């Protein structure tokens, strides 16, 4: 059975995100892992209300920022994927990891 490790990255700092994901891709290729991506998603504009105090109606202008997203998949290479997941990524990047187990086509289980 093959494992597919899906990595989703999100950050408000586009440059740090792009640099980190590109460095990760180069590392995976150098180690011989099959990697798909990075794939970019459209940025998301987030608006956060800011209040002067806890009483309703007393607000500052909302805080607005963009969140940039990239995704990658590592097929097989479980030991390499494990090393990647254990890395220390910059604090400005949020990383989500999902591992799927893929069965070969035509494989029957009795």
Best CA proximity match to 77, nearest among 27, 17, 18, 22? 27
**Predicted model pTM:** 0.82
What SS3 state is found at 49?
strand
Q: Where are the domains of the chain?
A: 1-39+68-100
| Residue-wise pLDDT tens digits, 75-103 | 988 888 888 888 999 999 999 999 988 77
How many whole angstroms separate alpha carbon 10 and alpha carbon 97?
12
Rounded percentage of the chain residues whose pLDDT exceeds 90: 64
CATH pick for 1-39+68-100 out of 3.40.640.10, 3.30.70.100, 3.30.70.600, 3.30.750.24? 3.30.70.600
The torsion angles phi and psi of 81, rounded to 5 degrees, stand at -60, -40
How many whole angstroms separate alpha carbon 49 and alpha carbon 12?
17
């Amino acid at each position: 059975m093959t494992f597919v490790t899906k990595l989703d990255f999100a950050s408000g700092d586009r440059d740090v995100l792009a640099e980190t994901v590109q460095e990760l891709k180069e590392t995976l290729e150098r180690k011989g892992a099959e990697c798909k991506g990075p794939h970019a998603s459209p940025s998301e504009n987030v608006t956060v209300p800011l209040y002067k105090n806890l009483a309703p109606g007393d607000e500052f202008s909302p805080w607005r920022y963009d969140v940039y997203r990239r995704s990658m998949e590592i097929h097989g290479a479980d030991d390499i994927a494990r090393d990647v997941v254990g890395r220390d990524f910059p604090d400005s990047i949020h990383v989500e990891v999902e591992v799927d187990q893929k069965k070969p086509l035509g494989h029957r289980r009795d």
